[in-house]
Amino acid sequence: MIVLLVLARTLHIGSALLLTSLLFFRLVVLREGRTEPEKAGWPIAFNRQLQRGLGGLFLLHLLSGAAWFWAVTAGMNDSSLREALDPAQLGTVLLQTQFGWLWSWRAGLALVFGALLLTGSAARGRSAGSWLALGVSGLLLGSLTWAGHAAAGTEHRIAHLGIDLAHLAIAAIWPMGLPPLALFLRAVARAGPAGPEVMPILQRFSRLSLACVILLLATGIANALFFFPSWSALVTSTYGRLLLGKVALFLVMVGLGAFNRFSFLPALMGDPASPALVRLQRAVLLESAIGLVVISIVGMMGATSPPVPGS
């Protein structure tokens, strides 16, 4: 049951982050519709991949959400996964718990998002539908805060929820903006020599990343202050060790990002079609892979008890 819970949490949080990051990347980083990408030659393949990605991620989000609900039903009833399929058990969790209320509300959001996806509104230029899709995916992501430890505290709950929410939203821009950036770079590299129109996009992403790193650090430290009664709890508790692992990987990603920024971007400024573009794509892919490991640690942290106060 716990393995299902950790897997479902990881996939659900990861898919919510990526859904938001793909839409954010297209609308804010790429500024599709403003840069007239058709003239640039590269974006047709990118847009096709992006739309496929949105569909696949949404399906994964629905399935992992159902699996998470199933595992939680088993956990709350202290029953096996098979027993937790009993409609009475599922109904009690759905109708009589905060988690059930949250999942009902999120199912409504998922319906809206599905409709925007099916009608094509979610991926249509810079239309109202695509901004609405970004907003709904952001709500699907942000509402996950109420399924975590922050929602259960008895002190400073609003502040803790707000910080957790900000941490998740920022993570959707960076590092979860890295997979769409890797897709974008691949599409550009495959479309032939890159033109100068690529540079403002990379610079925009670079500036956003720097801001996100600072904000992630600030919200991450604030979040940890709620959970850790002492510095020693960082190493004596499993929750603390998972957090240290997450921070270590975060620092590796920041280091890689800085290396990319200072070694590849100057080369591309001189010649956007230089081989540095392919090298940057590979480096971003590596960073993306580390980011996915970080998400799996987040999934485990949600299923692990924070340190006991006073211990």
Partner 1 sequence: MRKLLTLLLTLAAATAAQAHAFLDHADPRVGSTGPAPGHVELWMTEELEPAFTQVKVYDAQDHQVDRKDAKISGSTMTVSLPALTPGTYKVKWSAVAVDTHHTNGTFTFTVQ
Which of 97, 143, 203, 206 touches partner 1 (CB under 8 A)?
Answer: 97
Is the CA virtual torsion 79, 81, 86, 88 positive or negative? positive
Say whether residue 229 binds partner 1 (CB under 8 A): no
Residue 51 binds partner 1, judged by CB under 8 A: no
Q: Does the protein bind partner 1 through residue 235 (CB under 8 A)?
A: no
Distance CA 7, CA 9 (A): 5
Whether 211 and 274 have beta carbons less than 8 Å apart is answered as no
Which listed range, 117-125, 253-261, 264-272, 302-310, lies at the site for partner 1 (CB under 8 A)? 302-310
Q: CB–CB of 189/244 below 8 Å?
A: no
Q: Are 287 and 176 within 8 A, CB to CB?
A: no
Closest distance between partner 1 and the C-beta of residue 297, in Å?
7
Nearer to partner 1, 232 or 311 (CB): 311
* x-marked contacts with partner 1 along 61-80 as a string, rule CB under 8 A: -----------x--xxxx--
Which of 80, 96, 230, 236 contacts partner 1 by CB under 8 A? 96
Which C-beta is closer to partner 1: that of 132 or that of 290?
290
What's the closest the beta carbon of residue 161 comes to partner 1, in angstroms? Answer: 12
The whole-angstrom separation of Cα 151 and Cα 106 is 16
Residue for token digits 């949600």?
A: 302
Q: b/e per residue, 158-177, with b = 16+ CB within 10 A?
A: eebbebbbbbbbbbbbbbbb
Q: Is 119 in the site for partner 1 (CB under 8 A)?
A: no
Element (DSSP H or E) covering residue 214: helix 198-227
Q: How far apart are CA 47 and CA 229, in angstroms?
A: 47
Query: Which x/- pattern, by CB under 8 A, does the window 140-179 give for partner 1?
Result: -------xxx-xxxx-------------------------
Alpha-carbon gap, residue 195 to 211, rounded angstroms: 27
- Using CB under 8 A, count the residues that bind partner 1: 35
Among positions 19, 176, 178, 300, the unique one binding partner 1 when judged by CB under 8 A: 300
Provide the Cα torsion 250, 256, 259, 261; round to 10°: -80
As measured in angstroms, the least distance from the Cβ of 93 to partner 1 is 8
List the interface residues with partner 1, window 277-296 (CB under 8 A): 293, 296
Shortest separation between residue 22's beta carbon and partner 1, angstroms: 24
Distance CA 217, CA 135 (A): 24
CB 96 → partner 1: shortest distance, Å? Answer: 4
CA distance 88 to 15: 29
Here the contacts of 230-234 (C-beta below 8 Å, separation 24 or greater) are 233/307, 233/311
Residue 228 interacting with partner 1 (CB under 8 A): no
The residue range among 40-48, 56-64, 172-180, 238-246 that interacts with partner 1, by the rule CB under 8 A, is 238-246
What minimum distance in Å lies between the beta carbon of 30 and partner 1? Answer: 31
Kindly list the residues in this chain that would bind partner 1 in the complex (CB under 8 A): 2-3, 5-7, 72, 75-78, 92, 96-99, 147-149, 151-154, 238-239, 242, 293, 296-297, 299-300, 303-305, 308-309
